[in-house]
């Protein structure tokens, strides 16, 4: 058993130097309460889910290369009309998935893509992996506030994923990731797989709540001596704001999904219009969680960007407090804007209010973007992989943010809602924002987490290919949307085909880029050069300990003597002139 006793024997080796023997190693990982091991387990599970959701996305894009054409030809010998259908590229999966038609296969594919990516990948992505690993170290603590709860939250996550994967193995669901009623309560009525998928999301919510609670308490109670609220790295401010949303919003989706399960199994009628229930009530409940949760997805990414831009340009972050408070501001506003998902299902006044509140989000977001750009001004910018990803984030996230404004405007939203414009917009924020920042964060902290460097050139190549592939895939979809291509359809008119084909080619480039990253990571783990403790010259506390960190993170309790971004006045810990030069500055001491 693991022990949390204050006087336990302190192992000074790296956190993953375990006992000999395969079985005892596995048991040590499975029963660990070490936030670093839990973070690494989360990282690999989350990346696996990203792969799974990515396969479904590739299938969706593959189907969309062709519109479905039904051609009738006259057989000259028999005189009969022969009907042939072309373009149903996923038709071959029909029997394997037990679907009635090729279109149903398509519907299941985009549902799987959405459900896996949202509930199993992007919501836990940064907080549960990088957050778990680095939050305590950046605070100067030995662990999160509740290590056992942390392990429990990991197992709840795994259980939720197992439910989701079981549902997929049983054929998958075609409700869309939003489970809108009454369709979600009536489709596949004789199958358990829809209930399984709903339960998966319900269970994953608990994991999210526990992680959020853990982080809020950790930030309040475990800061190192000398670390005031405004001495925290901005990544921690972002995680803190994220955790508040997780704690406050997730219970609402819990009760909503529970009601949905009762609706499906017992027809309690609350969301069923035939019994006097209200399907729009479901949408209100659903988005009361699911809108705040998009900030659970993006806020930690913004935190990563604050770290990357400051460290890799060796500049003090511009507007520290403005960035910190804008994270809290976004968290606060996030609870007031859910109505913009259902503009057409509410009264005019409510729609106008929700539209106005939605515009408010742009203010703290723009504060962040301008501060980041100001940080870069006159910085010693190093164009390594993390920095390139951060710059890519600035570009794609800004497009994602700005294209949200026409959707918040009632008049233009009437034209754009439920089109590919919306798809492109949220992929620019979710993928161009969160995934790009996540990739940047993984590359930034990889040497610290695993003690190995990676091949910089290969990683930069991967980054560039991901960037091009991403823009090719999704920029085309802005045009598709404005021209009227609706989302969630397997079929379309011929005029859209060229753009769809470009978009699909882009998705293949994305695949190539991520495969290159996978290759560099594996090569790094197998034969990477040993990482120095502080390869980038960072000043946050994780760079003071070894790479990889020792089991209790620090040999002595760290005391904060400098701010996280005082590059102009502080020699970084473990500084080695071979690694990087210090900028000329006479005031340094």
Partner 1 sequence: MQTTLDADTTPAPAHLANHPTHWRNRGYAHHWKNRDEDFEASKFGMWLFLTTEVLLFAGIFCGYAVFRMLYPDAWSNGSHYLDWRFGAANTVVLLISSWTVASAVRCAQLNKQKWLKINLIITLLCAVLFVFIKLKFEYYVKLGDGKAPGTFFTYAFAENPHEVLWWSLYYVGTGIHALHVLIGASLLGWVLYRSWKYQAYGPTEYLMVENSALYWHLVDLVWIFLFPLLYLIH
- Per CB under 8 A, residues contacting partner 1 are 4-8, 136, 141-147, 149, 209, 213-214, 216-217, 220-222, 247-252, 254-256, 258-259, 262-263, 266-270, 275-278, 281, 285, 552
Nearer to partner 1, 256 or 419 (CB): 256
* Separation CA 89–CA 449 (nearest Å): 42
- Taking the complex as a whole, the smallest distance from the CB of residue 145 to partner 1 amounts, in Å, to 5
Minimum CB separation from partner 1 for residue 288, in Å?
A: 9
Closest to partner 1 by CB, 2 or 101: 2
Omega of the bond leading into 548 within 30 degrees of 0 (cis): yes
Rounded CA-CA distance 16/40 in Å is 10
Give least dist CB 213 to partner 1, A: 5
- To partner 1, the closest distance from the beta carbon of 272 in angstroms equals 9
* Helix, strand or coil, per DSSP, at residue 242: helix
- Mapped onto helix, strand or coil, the DSSP state of residue 73 is strand
In the bound state with partner 1, the residue whose beta carbon lies nearer, of 169 and 275, is 275
For the bound state, the minimum distance from the C-beta of residue 543 to partner 1, rounded and expressed in Å, comes to 20
Please give the structure tokens belonging to residue 215. 């982080």
Q: Which among 407, 397, 368, 384 has a CA at the least distance from the CA of 471?
A: 397
CB atoms under 10 Å from CB of 82, counted, come to: 10
d(CA 396, CA 428): 6
User: In sequence order, what are the residues at sequence separation of 6 or more whose Cβ sits closer than 8 angstroms to the Cβ of residue 411?
Assistant: none
Q: Which residues contact 40 (CB under 8 A, 6 or more apart)?
A: 16, 129, 133, 449
- Please, where are the H alpha helices in 222-233? none
* CB within 8 Å of 261: residues ≥ 6 apart: 195, 198, 199, 202
| Nearest CB to partner 1, comparing residues 149 and 345 | 149
Measured distance CA(385)–CA(406) in Å, rounded: 33
**Cβ burial, residue 8 (10 Å; 0-12/13-18/19+):** exposed
Residues 6+ apart with CB under 8 A from 566: 316, 539
CB of 65 to partner 1, least distance (A): 42
Question: 146 or 395, CB closer to partner 1?
Answer: 146
Query: Cα–Cα distance between 157 and 144 in angstroms, integer?
Result: 18
Shorter beta-carbon distance to partner 1: residue 63 or 272: 272
**How would DSSP label each residue in 391-458?**
HHHHHHHHHHHHTHHHHHSHHHHHHHTTBHHHHHHHHHHIIIIIIHHHHHHHHHHHHHHHSB---HHH
Minimum CB separation from partner 1 for residue 198, in Å? 15
354 vs 397, which CB is nearer to partner 1?
354
Q: Which residue has the tokens 């991901």?
A: 466
Residue 24, SS3? helix
Q: Which backbone phi and psi does 86 adopt, to 5 degrees? A: -120, 160
- Identify the residue whose tokens are 């795994």: 158
- Cβ proximity to partner 1: between 5 and 95 the closer is 5
169 versus 255: smaller Cβ distance to partner 1: 255
Q: Residue 6 CB, nearest distance to partner 1 (Å)?
A: 5
Least Å distance, CB 540 to partner 1, is: 19
Q: Smaller CB distance to partner 1: residue 7 or 530?
A: 7
Minimum distance between the CB of residue 1 and partner 1, rounded to whole angstroms? 13
Give the burial class of 458: count Cβ atoms within 10 A of its Cβ; 0-12 exposed, 13-18 middle, 19 or more buried.
middle
264-272 contacts at long range (C-beta below 8 A, 24 or more positions apart): 264/184, 264/185, 264/194, 264/195, 264/198, 265/195, 267/185, 271/181, 271/182, 271/185, 272/181, 272/182, 272/185
> Residue 244 or residue 390: which is nearer to partner 1 going by CB?
244
Q: By C-beta, is 250 or 398 nearer to partner 1?
A: 250
Distance of closest approach, residue 251 Cβ to partner 1, in angstroms = 4
Closest CA to 177 of 186, 164, 190: 164
Is the Cβ of residue 142 or residue 452 nearer to partner 1 in the bound state? Answer: 142
State the minimum distance, in angstroms, from the CB of residue 32 to partner 1: 14
Q: How long is the chain? A: 589
Find out whether 365 and 397 touch, Cβ atoms under 8 Å: no
Minimum distance of partner 1 from residue 33's CB (angstroms): 9
Dihedral in degrees, nearest 10, Cα atoms 513, 518, 521, 527: -110
**Shortest distance, position 216 Cβ to partner 1, whole Å:** 6
Q: Report the residue number, 292 or 533, with the smaller CB distance to partner 1.
A: 292
Q: Please, what is the minimum distance in Å from the beta carbon of residue 308 to partner 1?
A: 28
Dist CA 559 CA 583 (whole Å): 25
Question: Which among 522, 523, 514, 398 has a CA at the least distance from the CA of 465?
Answer: 514
* Residues 510, 470 contacting (CB under 8 angstroms): yes
Q: Which is nearer to partner 1, 295 or 474 (CB)?
A: 295
């Amino acid at each position: 058993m693991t022990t949390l006793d204050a006087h336990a024997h302190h192992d000074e080796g790296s956190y993953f130097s375990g006992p000999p023997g395969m079985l005892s190693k596995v048991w040590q990982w499975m029963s660990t309460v070490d936030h670093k091991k839990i973070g690494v387990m989360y990282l690999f599970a989350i990346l696996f889910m990203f792969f799974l959701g990515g396969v479904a996305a590739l299938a969706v894009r593959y189907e969309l290369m062709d519109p479905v054409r039904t051609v009738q030809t006259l057989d000259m010998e028999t005189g009969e009309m022969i009907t042939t259908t072309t373009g149903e590229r996923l038709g071959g999966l029909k029997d394997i998935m037990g679907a009635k038609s090729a279109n149903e296969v398509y519907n299941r594919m985009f549902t799987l893509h959405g459900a896996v990516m949202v509930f199993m990948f992007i919501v836990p992505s940064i907080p549960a992996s990088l957050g778990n690993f680095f939050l305590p170290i950046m605070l100067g603590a030995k662990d999160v506030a509740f290590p056992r709860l942390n392990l429990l939250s990991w197992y709840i996550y795994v259980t939720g994923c197992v439910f989701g994967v079981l549902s997929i193995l049983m054929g998958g669901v075609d409700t869309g990731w939003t489970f809108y009623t009454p369709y979600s309560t009536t489709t596949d009525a004789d199958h358990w797989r829809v209930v399984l998928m709903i339960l998966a999301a319900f269970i994953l919510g608990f994991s999210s709540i526990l992680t959020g609670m853990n982080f809020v308490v950790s930030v309040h109670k475990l800061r190192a001596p000398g670390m005031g609220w405004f001495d925290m790295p901005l990544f921690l401010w972002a995680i803190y704001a994220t955790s508040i949303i997780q704690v406050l919003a997730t219970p609402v989706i819990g009760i909503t999904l529970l009601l949905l399960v009762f609706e499906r199994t017992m027809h309690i009628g609350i969301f069923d219009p035939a019994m006097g229930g209200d399907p729009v009530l479901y949408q209100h409940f659903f988005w009361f969680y699911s809108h705040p949760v998009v900030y659970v997805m993006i806020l930690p990414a913004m935190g990563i960007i604050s770290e990357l831009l400051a460290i890799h340009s060796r500049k003090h972050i511009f507007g520290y407090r403005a960035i910190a408070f804008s994270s809290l501001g976004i968290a606060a506003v996030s609870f007031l804007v859910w109505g913009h998902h259902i503009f057409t299902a509410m009264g005019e006044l409510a729609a106008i209010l929700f539209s106005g509140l939605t515009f408010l989000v742009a203010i703290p977001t723009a504060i962040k973007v301008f501060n980041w750009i100001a940080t870069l001004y006159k910085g010693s910018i190093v164009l390594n992989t993390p920095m390139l990803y951060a710059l890519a984030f600035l570009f794609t996230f800004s497009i994602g943010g700005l294209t949200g404004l026409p959707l918040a405007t009632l008049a233009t939203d009437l034209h754009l809602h439920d089109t590919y414009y919306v798809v492109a917009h949220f992929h620019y924020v979710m993928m161009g924002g969160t995934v790009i920042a996540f990739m940047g964060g993984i590359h930034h902290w990889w040497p610290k987490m695993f003690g190995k460097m990676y091949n910089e050139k290969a990683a930069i190549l991967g980054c560039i290919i991901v960037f091009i592939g991403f823009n090719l895939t999704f920029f085309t979809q802005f045009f598709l949307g404005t021209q009227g291509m609706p989302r969630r359809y397997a079929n379309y008119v011929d005029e859209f085909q060229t753009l769809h084909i470009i978009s699909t080619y882009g998705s293949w480039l994305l695949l190539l880029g991520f495969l290159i990253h996978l290759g560099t990571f594996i090569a790094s783990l197998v034969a990477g050069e040993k990482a120095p403790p502080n390869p980038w010259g960072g000043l946050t506390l994780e760079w003071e300990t070894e790479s990889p960190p020792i089991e209790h993170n620090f040999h002595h309790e760290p005391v904060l003597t400098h701010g996280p971004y005082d590059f102009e006045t502080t020699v970084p810990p473990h500084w080695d002139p071979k690694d990087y030069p210090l900028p000329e500055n006479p005031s340094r001491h």
